């Protein structure tokens, strides 16, 4: 059961990363293709909050709680665990790319800047149904 729970957290983590990365891609493509949903205020708030949390964890030298939780469950299951951040581990595992943690801090900060810029380039809209 521990391994299954760890895999569920891993999948959740991948979906979170996909939301952050692909969400930004969708916002900019959506502006070009006039997709109205990319301007949804609550989607944009959640998207910005997600990358700000990642950035603040990186600035504070914290390992993501999802990574910590996954590793604890894997350890209880008797499986191998990894050290460092989720992204660092998987980039190294998949692409054989190894970089110091400060590189990831800079990348997360720059990405957060792109997400913040999207608020000005592709302005979110807030529809208030209470006034109707």
Place of tokens 């998207």: 47
Question: For residues 27, 19, 101 and 120, what is the CA-based torsion angle, rounded to 10 degrees?
Answer: 20
- pLDDT score recorded for residue 80: 75
Q: How far apart are CA 105 and CA 62, in angstroms?
A: 11
Q: Which residues pair with 40 in a beta bridge?
A: 125
Percent of the chain residues past pLDDT 70, beyond the cut:
84
Range of the domain at 90: 2-125
Residue 69, domain member (yes or no): yes
Residue 131, domain member (yes or no): no
**What is the domain count for the chain?**
1
Q: Predicted confidence band at 30 (pLDDT cuts at 50, 70, 90)?
A: very high
**The residue count for the chain:** 132
Residue 132, domain member (yes or no): no
Residue 32, domain member (yes or no): yes
């Amino acid at each position: 059961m521990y391994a299954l729970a760890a895999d569920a957290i891993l999948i959740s983590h991948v979906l979170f990363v996909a939301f952050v990365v692909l969400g930004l891609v969708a916002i900019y493509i959506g502006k070009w293709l006039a997709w109205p949903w990319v301007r949804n205020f609550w989607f944009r708030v959640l998207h910005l909050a997600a990358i700000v949390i990642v950035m603040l964890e990186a600035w504070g030298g914290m390992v993501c709680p999802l990574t910590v939780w996954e590793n604890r469950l894997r350890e209880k299951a008797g499986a191998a665990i990894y050290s460092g951040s989720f992204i660092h581990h998987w980039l190294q595992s998949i692409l054989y790319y190894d970089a110091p943690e400060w590189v990831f801090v800079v990348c997360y900060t720059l990405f957060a800047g792109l997400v913040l810029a999207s608020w000005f380039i592709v302005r979110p809209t807030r529809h208030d149904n209470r006034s109707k």
